[in-house]
């Protein structure tokens, strides 16, 4: 950031209309200055070399040099946070996952038309401010692309009821952090992981598939009635709060499509409160990188129920917002760097022994 104190932003989009609209939105904020625009990745790279912006907003899908290719060059050469602008489609979601995999710090969905630009303005401004003040996830914290994992052969399909739960909440920077932590957790974890990651519709299912490819754990987007079983990771779908209820075979997932909580649906607070109520001292809560305060109060309820509570440390967060609020409120037992998070979670809940696993499969 230069002496003016403003966040200097380069806007990259092949649409002249979008470049103008995004620039106008950003310049309404006194802390942001749009220093230039570019029509594709090739022009963007030359302007980055020349102007050294603090943040780049980069369209995913562009002619000549697309956003994914441009991002690869930016990450390799510059220490500049990049926020991707994606279309709200399955293809857009897939490309966005690739961008996050390659080093983008966050993304935002483009509006359906010029009349809807105001709906994304506040979110984009917040993410630009968060990205400019946050820290990029270090390159050595990223896994190799498309790491192939040989899954452990279980004694039988997972039918045991989880006696312990790890509830995780994340927002900006969360996909990166989850991609680092989850592949380092063994399949015989003695707990079910329930995750709320703030994302738009069609993106959570893509996130689940993206993570499932590289994890020993089974990762999938949660559905109504899913059994909460050990070694399973369930990610809340967009536009539904994830809660727990009692079913005939054990506790199951309930999806509630109501109003937003803390500005979000799904909300981390809703999940954490439900986990605290159903699991008490057998619950573990983890709040990870993200903007805002969603999850702090719910983490406090897990702590009051005598569960374990963790927060990601400032140094490894892309945006130290959600963890900071929870820490300041005194709801966090332990502040953990990303590099140690998987081992801390495994230590907190333990692993299923072969005897227990086989017994569970024949009950």
Q: How far apart are CA 210 and CA 224, in angstroms?
A: 21
HSE-CB of 60 using CA atoms within 13 angstroms: 23
Q: Tell how strand 241-247 and strand 232-235 pair up.
A: unpaired
Chain position carrying tokens 């914290």 = 141
Q: Which sequence positions are flagged as catalytic?
A: 171, 198, 294
If DSSP states are collapsed to H, E and C, what string results for 97-148?
HHHHHHCCCEEEECCCCHHHHHHHHHHHHHHHHHHHHCCCCCHHHCCCCCCC
Backbone angles phi, psi at 187, to 5 degrees: -70, -20
Q: Residue 87 gets which letter from DSSP?
A: -
H or E element at residue 254? strand 250-256
Q: Are 224 and 245 in contact (CB under 8 A)?
A: no
- From 253, 256, 265, 93, select the one nearest 167 (Cα to Cα): 253
Q: How far apart are CA 317 and CA 31, in angstroms?
A: 22
151 token code pair: 């899954």
């Amino acid at each position: 950031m230069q002496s003016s104190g403003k966040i200097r932003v380069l806007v990259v989009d092949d649409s002249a209309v979008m470049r103008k609209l995004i620039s106008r939105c950003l310049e309404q904020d006194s802390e942001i200055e749009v220093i230039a625009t570019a029509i594709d990745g090739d022009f963007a790279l030359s302007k980055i070399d020349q102007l050294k912006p603090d943040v780049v907003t980069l369209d995913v899908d562009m002619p000549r040099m697309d956003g994914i290719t441009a991002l690869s060059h930016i990450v390799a050469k510059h220490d500049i946070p990049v926020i991707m602008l994606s279309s709200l489609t399955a293809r857009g979601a897939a490309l966005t996952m690739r961008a996050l995999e390659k080093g983008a710090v966050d993304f935002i969905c483009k509006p359906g038309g010029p009349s809807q630009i105001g709906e994304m303005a506040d979110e984009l401004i917040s993410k630009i401010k968060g990205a400019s003040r946050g820290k990029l996830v270090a390159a050595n914290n990223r896994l190799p692309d498309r790491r192939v994992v040989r899954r452990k052969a279980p004694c039988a399909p997972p039918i045991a009821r989880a006696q312990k739960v790890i509830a995780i909440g994340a927002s900006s920077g969360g996909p990166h952090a989850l991609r680092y932590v989850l592949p380092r957790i063994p399949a015989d974890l003695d707990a079910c992981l329930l995750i709320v990651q703030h994302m738009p519709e069609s993106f959570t299912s893509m996130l689940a598939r993206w993570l499932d490819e590289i994890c020993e754990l089974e990762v999938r987007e949660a559905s109504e009635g899913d059994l909460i079983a050990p070694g399973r990771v369930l990610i809340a779908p967009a536009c539904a709060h994830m809660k727990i209820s009692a079913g005939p075979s054990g506790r199951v997932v309930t999806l509630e499509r109501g109003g937003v909580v803390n500005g979000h649906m799904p909300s981390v607070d809703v999940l954490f409160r439900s986990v605290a109520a159903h699991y008490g001292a057998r619950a573990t809560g983890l709040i990870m990188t993200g903007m805002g305060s969603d999850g702090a109060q719910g983490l406090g309820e897990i702590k009051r129920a005598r569960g374990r509570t963790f927060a990601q440390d400032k140094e490894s967060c892309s945006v130290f917002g959600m963890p900071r609020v929870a820490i300041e409120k005194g709801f966090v037992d332990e502040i953990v760097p990303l590099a140690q998070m998987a081992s801390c979670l495994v230590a907190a809940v333990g692993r299923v022994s072969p005897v227990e696993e086989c017994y569970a499969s024949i009950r």
